[in-house]
């Protein structure tokens, strides 16, 4: 396997960073250099909604410098991503165009879910104690400049991930106008943060026992350095402290001015100002979840970018089945909306069998199957609101929810699979603003499979057992055992079968073998 020199660029809200890696044999990865440039792009975006021309010019200069460094290291591949500071900027398109023209670097915008997932994959790979930490109940927390992400694990499984619009720069800029009128900036900050953390805890996390918090991301650097100074920890090992020690550190920060902290850390007053909101968010999350220990991991987005590149190009072995995390989170979301999990589990098994039965002729891949199974798990959520518009309600719930590991396009595709009926499936002209023709065909295929499987449990009584799916001579034969009347299921099945035939060119047929009792699928 040839050596690849790869560059990862993170255009963040608080800094722009470049890491260059050498990728040798499979699972061999070496960091060659790391360059950082502090610039608060988020300060503009979170206050005015735009990034100013002078910051755009500075960004172009920085990225052009990165380009020259990449040339020196003979970089052959690169990926450059931006996060919330550019994602939320009203002038993002013109900004990225200017960057492309002046530097030749294409910067792509990550959604929040994509950003956090890249980081999560890298942490799972780089944190030696990761599996042990999450096995006993843990929360993975990244306090960023624009927002924070809390991802909960229970019994080693990812159960829920939630984004809080609590970021160090966003909070600092938002509250700066109120600071002059408040008796205490710390009290003002605390009151603002408390509301979001309490709501997220009661809504998402209170059911789970959180023993540890694993803190990640580049915003940790100053806090980790402050902790090491106060605990007189001079080695390079990662920080691991108790909740009591974190509270002591937090109270210590409250006693120092920004200039004192800046001197202590060797940074600017502006950067030192971000330490308090960062520490406060971690301290409050530790407190409300009654966590015992907090681990610090210095993995950043650049690490996540190179890990994803290596996985995409088979340069790295997976250390975890991330698809299982997606399905686990989807299941918990369905339970939150009181979905009929007996029904969805039954339909999921059948949909999986149909998918595999078509595997050689469908043109669908493993990721497409994941989208199908998530759609099945979530299709019944809308009944929580009312029974008249279940599909439309489910669509809105899915679009309003975030599952770590799914892109925004994935989310939109799943919502459309759940939403669109086979009787009036929309034409491409109706969906072309959201999807390419290839994506549209994929949605139609997955909808056909989903509807066929779902219709076989129209009564939600799981009438058929020992189901077998065989494909022969352009006929998809679905055979099952049942002692019950299948008139309702057959009527709906036949309707979906006509749509299925139009999409795949294959005729689905249902065959019932009558028996005296029913066992599992």
The pLDDT tens digits for 484-509 are 999 999 999 999 999 999 999 999 99
Q: What span, in angstroms and rounded, lies between the C-alpha atoms of 458 and 489?
A: 6
- Say if residue 63 is in the same domain as residue 163: no
Q: What span, in angstroms and rounded, lies between the C-alpha atoms of 521 and 515?
A: 14
How much is the pLDDT for 517? Answer: 59
56-84: average pLDDT:
97
- Say if residue 85 is in the same domain as residue 141: no
352-363: average pLDDT:
96
If you search the block for the tokens 């034969």, which residue do you land on? 477
Is residue 520 pLDDT above 70, yes or no? no
24-30: average pLDDT:
92
Other Cβ atoms within 10 Å of 197 Cβ, number = 21
Residue 121 lies in a domain: no
Beta-bridge partners for 33? 20
Mean pLDDT of the chain: 94
- Say if residue 439 is in the same domain as residue 349: yes
The enclosing domain of 91 has a CATH number of 3.30.420.40
Is residue 117 pLDDT above 90, yes or no? yes
- Say if residue 438 is in the same domain as residue 507: yes
pLDDT classification of 219: cutoffs 50, 70, 90 = confident
Domain interval for residue 264? 128-298
pLDDT classification of 8: cutoffs 50, 70, 90 = very high
- Say if residue 79 is in the same domain as residue 149: no
- Say if residue 212 is in the same domain as residue 353: no
430-452: average pLDDT:
97
Is residue 233 pLDDT above 70, yes or no? yes
- Say if residue 241 is in the same domain as residue 138: yes
Could you give the number of structural domains in the chain? 3
- Say if residue 292 is in the same domain as residue 378: no
pLDDT in tens, 178-188: 777 778 889 99
How much is the pLDDT for 172? Answer: 87
Using alpha carbons only, give the angle 86, 87, 90 rounded to the nearest 5 degrees: 75
**DSSP per position, 473-516:** TTEEEEEEEESS--HHHHHHHHHHHHHHHHHHS-EEEEEEEE-S
Q: What span, in angstroms and rounded, lies between the C-alpha atoms of 369 and 375?
A: 10
Residue 310 lies in a domain: no
Residue 9 lies in a domain: yes
pLDDT in tens, 321-356: 999 999 999 999 999 999 999 999 999 999 999 999
Instruction: Using a pLDDT cut of 70, give the percent of the chain over it.
Output: 99
367-372: average pLDDT:
98
With a CB cutoff of 8 Å and minimum separation 6, the contacts of 144 are: 12, 13, 83, 84, 167, 168, 217, 219
Is residue 258 pLDDT above 90, yes or no? yes
Is residue 2 pLDDT above 90, yes or no? no
Q: Which two tokens stand for residue 188?
A: 């003002």
Domain endpoint, select from 265, 298, 331: 298
- Say if residue 494 is in the same domain as residue 435: yes
Residue 237 lies in a domain: yes
């Amino acid at each position: 396997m040839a050596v690849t020199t790869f560059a990862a660029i993170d255009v963040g809200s608080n800094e722009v960073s470049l890491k260059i890696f050498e990728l040798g044999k499979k699972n061999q990865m070496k960091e060659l250099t790391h360059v950082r440039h502090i610039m608060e792009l988020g300060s503009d975006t979170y206050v005015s909604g735009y990034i100013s021309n002078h910051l755009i010019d500075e960004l172009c200069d920085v990225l052009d410098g990165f380009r020259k460094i990449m040339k020196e290291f003979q970089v052959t591949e690169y990926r450059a991503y931006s996060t919330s500071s550019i994602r939320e900027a009203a002038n993002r398109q013109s900004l990225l165009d200017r960057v492309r023209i002046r530097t030749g670097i294409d910067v792509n915008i990550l959604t929040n879910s994509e950003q956090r997932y890249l980081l999560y994959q890298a942490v799972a790979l780089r944190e030696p104690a990761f599996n042990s930490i999450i096995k006993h109940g843990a929360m993975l927390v990244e306090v960023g400049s624009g927002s924070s992400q809390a991802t909960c694990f229970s019994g080693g499984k990812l159960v829920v991930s939630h984004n809080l619009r609590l970021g160090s720069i966003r909070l600092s800029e938002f509250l700066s106008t109120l600071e002059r009128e408040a008796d205490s900036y710390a009290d003002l900050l605390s009151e603002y943060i408390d509301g979001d953390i309490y709501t997220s805890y009661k809504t998402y996390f209170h059911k789970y026992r959180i023993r540890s918090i694993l803190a990640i991301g580049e915003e940790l650097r100053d806090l980790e350095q402050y902790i090491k100074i106060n605990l007189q920890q001079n080695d390079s090992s990662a920080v691991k402290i108790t909740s009591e020690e974190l509270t002591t550190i937090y109270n210590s920060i409250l006693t120092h001015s920004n200039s004192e902290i800046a001197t202590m850390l060797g940074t600017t007053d502006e950067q030192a100002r971000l330490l308090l909101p960062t520490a406060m968010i971690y301290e409050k999350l530790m407190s409300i979840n009654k966590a015992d220990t907090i681990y610090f991991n210095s993995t950043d987005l650049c690490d996540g970018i190179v890990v994803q590149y290596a996985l995409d190009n088979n340069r790295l072995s997976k250390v975890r089945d991330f698809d299982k995390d997606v399905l686990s989170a989807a299941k918990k979301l369905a339970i939150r909306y009181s979905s009929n999990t007996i029904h969805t589990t039954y339909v999921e098994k059948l949909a999986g069998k149909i998918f595999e039965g078509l595997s050689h002729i469908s043109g669908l891949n493993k990721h497409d199957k994941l989208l199908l199974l998530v759609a099945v798990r979530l299709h019944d959520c809308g009944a929580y609101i009312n029974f008249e518009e279940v599909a439309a309600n489910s669509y809105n719930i899915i679009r309003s929810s975030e599952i770590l590991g799914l892109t925004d396009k994935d989310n939109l595709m799943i919502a459309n699979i759940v939403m669109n009926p086979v009787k009036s499936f929309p034409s491409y002209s109706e969906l072309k603003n959201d999807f390419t023709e290839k994506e549209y065909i994929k949605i139609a295929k997955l909808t056909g499979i989903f509807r066929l499987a779902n219709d076989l449990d129209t009564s939600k009584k799981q009438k058929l057992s020992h189901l077998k799916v065989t494909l022969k001579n352009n006929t998809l034969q679905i055979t099952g055992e049942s002692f019950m009347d299948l008139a309702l299921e057959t009527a709906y099945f036949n309707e979906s079968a006509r749509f299925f035939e139009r999409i795949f060119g294959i005729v689905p047929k249902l065959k019932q073998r009558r028996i005296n009792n029913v066992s599992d699928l």
